[in-house]
Amino acid sequence: MERREEMSLENLILLTGRTINQGVALEGGKTTKENVRAAAICTFDHEDFKKLDIISGTPVKVSTDFGEVIVYSTISEEGPHPGIIFIPMGPWANQVVNPDSQSCGTPTYKGMKAKVQVVKDGKVLGALELIKTLIEV
Amino acid sequence: MAVRKIKTVYDVVCPFCGTLCDDLEVDVVDNKITEVRNGCQIGTKKFFASNPSEHRYKTPLIKVNGSFKEASWDEALDKAADILVKAKRPLLYGFSSTECEAQSKGVELAEILGAILDNTASVCHGPTILAEQDVGVPTSTLGEYKNRADLVIFWGCNPVHAHPRHLSRYSEFVRGYFRKDGRNDRFIVVIDPRNTHTAQIADLFIQVNPSEDYGLLNAIRAILRGVELDEKEVAGVSMENIKELADKVKSCNFGVIFFGMGLTQSLAHHRNIDAAICLTRELNDHTKFLITPMRGHYNVTGANQVFTWITGYPFSIDFSRGYPRYNPGEFSSVELLLKDQVDASLMVSTDPASNFPAASVKNMFKHPLIAIEPHETPTSVNADIILPPAYAGIECEGTAYRMDSIPLRLRKVKDAPNGLLTDREILERLIEKVKEKKGE
Amino acid sequence: MTQVKLKLKKQPNVPLEAESITPDNFAGKNINEIKGLIVYHGKEKEKIGDYFDVSGESSEINDLKIIIEGDLSNIKRIGEKMTSGEIIINGNVGMHVGNQMGGGKILINGNADDWAGAMLKGGELEITGDAGNYIGSAYRGYWKGMENGLIKVKGKVGHESMLWARSSKGAKKFPMLICGGAASFLGIHNHGGTIIVEGDVDRCAGADQAWGTIVIKGKVSRKLPSFKKMGEINEITLPNGDVIKGKFIEYSGDHATKKETNGRLYIAA
C-alpha cells in the first residue's frame, strides 16, 4: 500500500460524492450560503489535517491536473482515510474533476491526484460567482 | 379568528432519490406545505422548497441585454422554439427529475428537431447500463431483498448520505418475511475507500484503494473458481481478507450487491460493473445472488425506461439522421460539450453548470441555453430563456420508476403557484411551436 | 491504379458524417457524381462537393485509390463498410474510420479518433500516429467485435482496444492488432484475438479474456491478479503460425472467467 507510506499533501487522491448536508442544501436552493457551507468544503483524514496545522474552516486551494478551486477545510467524519481527500459533488468539486470518460460518457469524478495548499486569506466563491468565472466574455 | 384548514395527503411518493419512498404524509395549508412526515432530511427539504420563495421563478424569463425580463408563455416558448429550430445540433438533456409523461414528450421533441437526447444517467449510472448491455444483469425488486436477503454488500455507495431511507425500508434495519429480526438477521458488508457512515454500521468493512475496485472484483471471481492467486494483496486488501469475503458471499442464503458512483465514476467505469455483474452471476453457482444499482435521481430509471421503449436506447441518443442512434462517449452530453459539438441546449429540470466538469460547462455557455427549471440555479441564471414549471411529484401527478424499475404513481399535493405549466405541458407547447416553425 | 483526390476546403461547424467516402461508393462514378454524394452535417444533408475539392478519375473498385488531404479530425465514418480498394488519409481523422470494413486498405498518416476499425471483418487498417479508444472493438452490446483483418498502429491505442475480438480457426480468421503502446483494458473479453504491443501497456490488459494471445514487449503498469505465472519462454508461436522471438514471462488467464484457460498473456522479461 504505497500511498500510505509516501504520504504527503502533494500526493493526495481526491474523491467526490453525495453528502446528506449537500443534498439538503441544494434542495433548499443552489445559490444559497447553505450550499456553500455544505459543498464548498474539503474533508481530510485526521492525521493529514494535523500536518496542515490549521483550524477547521480555513480555506485551502485544491489543485489537480484539471484545475484548482478554493474551498473550506475540515476533518472527515468518515475516516480514517489517509491520503484521501473528499469534496461533496457540486460546482466546487467539478472545477477539479477529470472530465475524461475513456469514451463511456461518464466523466471520472473520483480518484484524481491532488495537492492541497493552505490559503488563509483565500476567498471561497459562491456557486454563482464560481460559475461566472467559466463564462467567456 | 378563521380556522386554518389543514389538508393532509397520505401515501405521497417522494420525488428526491431513486428509493422513491411512498409513505410520506404531507400537510398543506393555503396551498403551502407546512409539515412533512416520514420523509428523510433531503426529501422533506425538497417539499418545503416548492413553497414560493425568492429562489423560485414565477413567470417565464427572457434575457435581454444581459438581464432577465418577464415574458408571457407564448413569447418565451416562441423564442425557445426559434433557438432550437435554428440550431444544427441541439442538445436536450436532463429529464431525470420529472415524470415519465414529460420524458416521452422530450423524446418527441428531440425527434422532430433531429436533436441529441440525453438524460442524467449519462453522468451517473450510464456505465451500469453499458455493462448490462454487455453481460446482462441478474436483478430483482427491493421487496425481495427486504424479505429474503441475509447478506447485503454496499460497494462504492453510501446510502446513509445518498439514499437515507434505503437502509430502513429495504436493506438493513427493516424486518422482512424471512428476516424477522431485521438488522440482526443480515450480515452487512461495505466496500469503499473511505470508512463511510454506512461502513461504520456494517459488520465487515473492506477498505479498497481508490480506483482499484476492478482488480478486487477480478480477484474474488478467480478465487471463487478455486484458483490460487500469485498476489498477497490486491487493491490494498490482503489475500486473507479477500478469501474471507469470498467464503462469506458463498455461504449466505440470499445475497445482494448494491453499488453506486464509487464504481461508475472512478476509473474503469462500466468495466467495474461488468465485473460486478459477472461476479453476481457466478455466485449463483453457490447460492442465490442478485445486484441492483443505487440510482440517484428519483426518476432517472424512468428516463431510461421511457427512452428505451420509444427509441430502443436508454440515453445518449442522436436523432440527427431522423432515426435514433446510440453511442455514449460520442453522443453523451459531457463529451459533446467538451468537444464543443452542440450549438444550443435545452436543459430539463437539471443543473449541468453545477454537475458537469468545468471544461464542458465553459462550452455550454458559448451557445444559446434554455432552462426548464423551477429554481434559481447556476444553469438557469446564465440561461437565455427560463421556463419555470410546476414541481413534478409535488404540484403535478405522473409516473416515476424506482431504482429497481418498479413504476409508482407520483401524487399531487398542492397547486403550482401562478398557474405554472407542468414540464409535460411546456414540452407539448414547445413541440407545437417547433412544428409551426418547421411548417409541419 | 486510378486516383480520386479529395482536399478539405472548409471545416464543418459540427461533426460531419461522411460514410459515403468509400471506394465502393466512388467506383464507376464521374467527378461530378462524386461531388454530389451525401454527407451529414448535424441534422442537415449536404454534399461532398461542399466540403472537398474533388479531382482525378474513378474506375472499377479494385483499381481505385482515394487520397484525402486536410485535418479531418471532425469528420467521421470515412471508409465505413468498404470492401475493396484503398483510402489514404494525410492528416488526422475523426471517429469510426473504416468501421466494419470487409476488405481493402486504409492508411492514415496521422492520428485516428475513437472506434477506428470497429468490428473489422477483413482488410487492413494502418495508422502512423496514435489511435483513440475502442480501436477494433465491438459496438455497444455486440458480442462479436473484430473478426478478421489486421490493424497496425505506430503510436498508442486508447482504452478497451479490440474489445470482444473473435477468431475462428476453422474459417482461418485471425483478427490481429499491432500497436506501439496501449491504455487500459487492452483486449478485454478477448475470444481469440491476437494483440502485439511494442511498448508499454496500462492497467487491466486481457481482462475477461476467454482465449487469445496478448504479447507485450514493454512494461505493464499493473497486471490483473487473475493472471497466473506459468514460466519463462524464449519464443511465442501465434495462432496464425508466426513466431516472435525474445524472452517473455508467460501468464495464463483471465482466470476470473475460466479456471482452465488457454488464454495467454506474455510480458517481456
Domain boundaries, chain B: 6-49, 61-124+298-438, 126-293
Dig out the grid coordinates for A53 from the structure. 496545522
Does the ipTM surpass 0.85? yes
Interface contact flag, B161 A101, Cβ < 8 Å: no
Q: Please, which pLDDT band fits residue A2 given cuts at 50, 70 and 90? A: very low
Please answer yes or no on whether C140 and B267 come within 8 Å at the CB atom.
Answer: no
Average pLDDT over residues C242-257: 94
Query: Is the pLDDT reported for residue A121 higher than 90?
Result: no
Report d(CA B262, CA B198) in Å as an integer.
Answer: 13
Tell which of B231, B232, B355, B379 to mutate to test the A interface (max A CBs under 10 Å): B355
Residue in chain B closest to C184 (alpha carbons) equals: B268
State the pLDDT confidence band at A4, using cuts at 50, 70 and 90: very low
Are A102 and C160 a contacting pair at CB < 8 A? yes
Q: Is the pLDDT of residue A7 over 70?
A: no
The minimum CA-CA distance between C150 and chain B, rounded to whole Å, is 24
| Torsion-angle region of B155 (φ positive above 0: left; ψ -120 to 50: alpha; else: beta) | beta
Neighboring chain A residues of C134 at a CB cutoff of 8 Å: 103
Name the closest residue on chain B to residue C251, using Cα atoms: B230
Does residue A42 lie in a domain region? yes
Find the domain containing A45 and state its range. 2-132
Specify the number of domains making up chain A: 1
Domain covering B126-293, topology = Dimethylsulfoxide Reductase; domain 2 (3.40.228)
Looking at the domain assignment, is residue A82 inside a domain? yes
Q: For the range B279-282, what are the long-range contacts, defined as Cβ-Cβ under 8 Å and sequence gap of 24 or more?
A: B279/B217, B279/B220, B279/B221, B279/B224, B280/B138, B281/B135, B281/B136, B281/B138, B282/B221, B282/B224, B282/B225
Shortest distance, CA B410 to any CA of chain C (angstroms): 33
Find all residues with CB under 8 Å of B403, minimum gap 6, and list them.
B18, B19, B20, B142, B292, B293, B294, B295, B301
Cβ within 8 Å, pair B127-A17:
no
pLDDT at C102 over 70: yes
Chains with ≥3 CB–CB distances under 8 Å to B: A, C
Q: Yes or no: say if B314 and B121 are a contact pair by the CB < 8 Å rule.
A: yes
Section C125-131 average pLDDT: 97
pLDDT band at A28 (very low <50, low <70, confident <90, very high): confident
Q: What whole-number distance in Å separates Cα of residue B137 and Cα of residue B276?
A: 10
Which string of DSSP letters, residue by residue, matches chain A?
-HHHHS--TTSEEEEEE--HHHHHHHHH-TTSHHHHHHHSEEEE-HHHHHHHT--TT-EEEEEETTEEEEEEEEE-TT---TTEEEEETTTTGGGTSB---TTSSS-B-S-EEEEEEE-TT--PPPHHHHHHTT---
In chain C, which residue's Cα lies nearest the Cα of A102?
A: C159
Residues of chain B with pLDDT under 70: 1-2
Q: What percent of chain C has pLDDT over 90?
A: 92
Q: Are residues B193 and A105, on separate chains, in Cβ contact within 8 Å? A: no
- Indicate the residue of C140, C208, C225 with minimum beta-carbon distance to B327: C140
| A102:C158 CB<8 A | yes
Same fold, B61-124+298-438 and B126-293: no
CATH code, domain carrying A101:
2.40.40.20
In a domain, A128, yes or no: yes
Q: What is the pLDDT of residue A8?
A: 53
Of all residues in chain C, the percent with pLDDT exceeding 70 is: 100
Q: Which residues of B touch C249 (CB under 8 A)?
A: none
Given a contact cutoff of 8 angstroms between Cβ atoms, the answer to whether B89 and A71 are in contact is: no
CB contact under 8 A, A102 and C132: no
- Identify the residue among B53, B191, B269, B294 best suited for mutation to test binding to A, counting A beta carbons within 10 A and taking the highest: B269
- Pairwise CB contact (< 8 Å): A103 & C159: yes
Best of A2, A100, A101, A102 to substitute, by most chain C Cβ atoms within 10 angstroms, is A102
What is the CATH code for B61-124+298-438?
A: 3.40.50.740
Looking at residue A107, its pLDDT comes to 96
| pLDDT score at B4 | 76
Look at A102 and C114 and tell me if their CB atoms are within 8 Å. no
Among chain C, residues having any CB pair with chain A shorter than 8 Å are 114, 132-134, 158-160, 183-184
Is the confidence at residue C125, as pLDDT, over 60?
yes
Q: Which residues of A touch C183 (CB under 8 A)?
A: 102
What percentage of chain A exceeds 90 in pLDDT? 80
